Chain A
Amino acid sequence: MGDFADYARKDFDKKNVVASANNEEADVQFNVEDAKAFSAEETVATTAGTDTSAPVVTTSSTPVTLGRGLDVGTANLVSSFQDNSGNVNLKIQRNAFIDIDCDDYTRNMLTRLGVQYVVVNGRMVVVGDPAFELANIFNRNTRRPMKEGMISPDEADALPIEKMLLETLLEKPKQPGEICYYSVPAEPIDADMNVVYHQGVFGGLLKGLGYEPKPLVEGHAVVFSELAEDDFTGIGISCGGGMFNVCVSYKSIPALSFSTSRGGDWIDRNVASVLGCSASRACGLKEKGIDLTNPQGREEEAVEIYYRNLISYTLKNIKERFESSSSMPSFPEPISIVCAGGTSMIGGFTEVFQQEFEKIQFPIAVKEIRLAEDPLYSVSKGCLVAALSESV
């Protein structure tokens, strides 16, 4: 079985996650016997074109392979599964909600706008993408269950809302205890935050839905989805809304992973404060299609400045961590750096990354800096790869 699973398990066990205490078995891995017992009456077949040792299950009744991926992000939640023709199917929800006074006027208005709502504690709550649209219509900010990569301690309604959102993204498991790998932030280097609690909350949530939850650090997920051709050796960076997650991997084993609490939201906040506008407006400006290599006007220049700062901050941190760590593998070949996540999707991102890279003495030889194939879905896909590789 894969080392990443050991890594994840150790990580999970080490942190003594609250919700995992209900596991009667500490071992989170499946062996062949377990798997056979699990799917006794199911037909086991391998998908054409994959290595015969790849334990892909298809059943006559369900056109879906066992194993799920879930990217738990500050800005977006993305679930994924594989259908039996090998396609990856994803569902995406904004990790946001908005609550409105519960009255007839609002009811009518929401109905007219075609927005579904849920009544919680006497308030009308709209979750996910419609909440985002609604907030824009009314020039309000959405409420966010997560902040800087983790479940938000300031948001009292965060837990029930996350539960609702996850229910919209994941159906019931195909089998009890179907594996669901979910992304968690690596230990943050610039903030004192509680990864353990966050990890436990989502583990508990997924368990409640009937899944066998397994955490995977976000940067590692990027390695799984983007660095197969390099034998899972290189650097995966997830450039998210709440944080940047970095993982230096050698043959699928993470040698170094960490996160920084600066991401897209950090850019929005800073741009907003120099331009004197709201963070949502700054975010709109940033996402509207800027080319970082050719910013037009004061506003776009502000975005470019903070992007540059963020990228250089990330690179410096990788360099420092790499140099101060005693057990770094030596990479025989130059490696690739792959960037994923919504924040990497801005025009000119890799160019600016390259420019900042050239300004510092990077400790590893790098052959290429590139973007993930599907930046927004990369983490979820990586979690899916991990889940599929353990599901029989």
Chain B
Amino acid sequence: MSSAFDVPKAVDKRLSTMAVDELAKRGMRTVKVLDKASIMSLIDEAVETVVADRLAELKADDRERLREEAKTQFKKLVQERNSRQKEQQEAYEERIENLRAQAVSLEEKLEEAERQKDEISTEVEETPVVETVEVPASPSLDVDQIRDVVREAVAEAKTEPAEVASGSQMEDLKASIDALANKVVQGAAATSSKHVEPPSEDALMALFSREGDEKVENNLDQVEIKNAKAGGVAANLAKLKNLQKETE
């Protein structure tokens, strides 16, 4: 059998091996592991080659046996390849899981920071006028918002389970978690240094006067506001006036 056709070798020759990461880098998101039809034709080809060698000696069932042997070899090959891919997929999922855990702990830190902020403001509330009019320069943190980012990221990573997450997806996820971490740090700093000042009368009036805010980008006049009509109040008004006259 020295001249026997080495089926796996032939296939390997035809298949180009490439790391899944490499494919992802090239922008390939879907990896078709093996095309069944071409495998079959490859097997046929292999079988035909071997058969050509021993044409004379072979009977029909030998030919069939040979075909089966080759098929089995290929199946093995396919399975090996699949399991390698699965391992890779699992590794990615594990990384996503880790990132998610990281985000959850950030969220907890944030909630803790907000609790502390609450405590600070309750303490200050004991002074007669407590509210602050100044709008803080950095927008306050929103736990829901963070939850959304995480939920989105995880959902995105899981949309197509058969697919291997690409490098760029992972980068996006990492970036959004980094942004989150940044916010938590900034938010905590802003919280601890914040002083609640009672508003002066001037500050209140400035805030409420129309002129102060002409520059604000605002398209509220385009918003449709819910309108309603209700029963008239003329009778109430008349009664009230009468009553007021009586008691005068």
Cα A103 to Cα B9 with chains together (Å) = 54
Q: Which of B217-236 contact A (CB under 8 A)?
A: 217-223, 225-236
Given A18-B201, A204-B205, A385-B240, A120 and B216 contact (CB-CB distance below 8 Å) = yes
Q: Chain A's nearest CB lies how many Å from the CB of B159? A: 18
- Residues in chain B near residue A50, CB distance under 8 A: 234-235, 237-238
Interface: A339 (CB within 8 A): no
Once the chains are docked, how many angstroms separate the CA of A22 from the CA of B239? 34
Q: How many residues of B contact A (CB 8 A)?
A: 57
Q: Is the CB of A157 within 8 A of B234?
A: no
- A65 → B minimal CB distance (Å): 10
Q: Shortest 8 CB-CB distances between A and B: which pairs?
A: A208-B208, A51-B238, A228-B236, A92-B226, A86-B232, A2-B244, A88-B230, A140-B144
Q: Contact: A251 with B247, CB < 8 Å? A: yes
Q: Contact partner of B131 among A117, A151, A160, CB < 8 A?
A: A151
- Determine if B118 is an interface residue (Cβ-Cβ < 8 Å): yes
Residues of A within 8 A of B245 (CB): 53
Q: Determine if B161 is an interface residue (Cβ-Cβ < 8 Å).
A: no
Q: Can you list 27 A-B contacts (CB < 8 A)?
A: A18-B201, A47-B234, A54-B241, A88-B229, A90-B227, A90-B228, A90-B229, A92-B226, A92-B227, A93-B226, A99-B139, A129-B225, A129-B226, A153-B125, A156-B132, A164-B220, A168-B223, A197-B129, A201-B204, A205-B208, A208-B210, A209-B210, A229-B239, A231-B239, A232-B240, A373-B230, A384-B233
* A228 lies within 8 A of B240 (CB): yes
B-contacting residues of A (Cβ < 8 Å)?
A: 1-3, 18-19, 21-22, 47, 49-51, 53-56, 80, 82, 86-93, 99, 101, 116-123, 127-130, 138, 140-141, 143, 151, 153-154, 156-157, 159-160, 163-164, 167-169, 194, 197, 200-201, 204-205, 207-209, 224-225, 228-229, 231-232, 251-252, 373-374, 377, 381, 384-385, 388-389
Given contacts A50-B234, A163-B208, A208-B210, contact A389 B227 (CB under 8 A): no
* Alpha-carbon distance A120/B219, docked complex (angstroms): 12
Q: Which of B129, B204, B233 has a CB less than 8 Å from the CB of A385? A: B233
Cα distance A218–B244 in the bound complex, in angstroms: 20
Residues of B within 8 A of A384 (CB): 233
Q: Which residues of A contact B15 (CB under 8 A)?
A: none
Take A99-B139, A168-B220 as given contacts and tell me if A82 and B233 are in contact as well, using a CB distance cutoff of 8 Å: yes
Asked if residues B233 and A19 are in contact (CB atoms below 8 Å), the reply is no
A209 to B210 Cα, complex, angstroms: 7
Q: Are B237 and A54 interface neighbours, CB within 8 A?
A: yes
B57 CB to closest chain A CB (Å) equals 70
Q: Count A-B pairs with CB separation below 8 Å.
A: 189
Known: A54-B241, A90-B230, A141-B144. A127 touches B220 (CB 8 A): yes
Interface residues of B (CB under 8 A from A): 118, 121, 125, 129-133, 135-137, 139-140, 142, 144-145, 148, 199, 201, 204-205, 207-210, 213, 216-223, 225-245, 247-248
Set B129, B135, B144, B219: member contacting A116, Cβ < 8 A:
B219
Q: A50-B237, A89-B229, A384-B233 are in contact. List 16 more A-B contacts (CB 8 A).
A: A3-B244, A50-B235, A54-B237, A54-B238, A56-B237, A92-B225, A92-B226, A101-B145, A116-B220, A153-B130, A201-B131, A207-B205, A208-B207, A209-B210, A373-B230, A385-B236
Complex partner residue of B240 from A138, A207, A389, CB under 8 angstroms: A389
Contact of B148 among A138, A157, A200 (CB under 8 A): A138
Report how far A232 CA is from B235 CA in the complex, Å.
Answer: 12
Q: Given the complex of chains A and B, what is the CA–CA distance between A143 and B238 in angstroms? A: 41
A119 B217 Cβ-Cβ under 8 A: yes
Q: Which residue of B lies closest to A192 (CB)?
A: B125
Q: How far is the CA of A209 from the CA of B244 in the complex (A)?
A: 30
Inter-chain contact B243/A116, CB cutoff 8 Å: no
Are A86 and B131 in contact (CB-based, < 8 A)?
no
Do A225 and B225 contact each other (CB < 8 Å), given the known contacts A21-B201, A201-B204?
no
Considering only CB atoms, which chain B residue lies closest to A118 in the complex? B218
Give the chain A neighbours of B209 by CB distance below 8 A: 208
CA distance A55 to B137 in the complex (A): 49
Most buried by B among A51, A130, A231, A232: A51
Q: Are A99 and B142 in contact (CB under 8 A)?
A: yes
Distance, CA A132 to CA B132, complexed state (A): 26
Q: Given A129-B226, A225-B233, A252-B243, answer yes or no on A121-B135 (Cβ-Cβ < 8 Å).
A: yes
A159 to B13, CA, bound (A): 73
Across the interface, name the chain B residue whose C-beta is closest to A163. B208
Q: What chain B residues lie within 8 Å of A381 (beta carbons)?
A: 230, 233
Which chain B residues lie closer than 8 Å to A93 at the CB level?
225-226
Using Cβ atoms and an 8 Å threshold, which residues of chain A touch B125?
A: 153
For residue B244, which residues in chain A have a CB less than 8 angstroms away from its CB? 1-3, 252, 389
- Complex-state Cα separation, A118 to B216, whole angstroms: 8
Q: When the two chains form the complex, which single residue of A88, A151, A163, A169 contacts B225, counting CB atoms closer than 8 Å?
A: A169
**Closest partner residue, chain A, to B138 (CB atom):** A121
State the CA gap A200–B226 with chains docked (Å).
27
B234 with A49: CB separation less than 8 A? yes
CA distance in complex: A101, B152 (Å): 15
Closest residue of chain B to A1, judged by CB? B244
For B137, list chain A residues within 8 Å (CB): 121
- Shortest A40–chain B CB gap in Å is 23
Query: How far, in Å, is B24 (CB) from chain A's closest CB?
Result: 24
Q: How far is the CB of B80 from chain A (nearest CB, A)?
A: 42
CA distance A1 to B145 in the complex (A): 53
- A122–B210 alpha-carbon span in the complex (Å): 21
Is B236 touching A225 in the complex (CB atoms < 8 A)?
yes
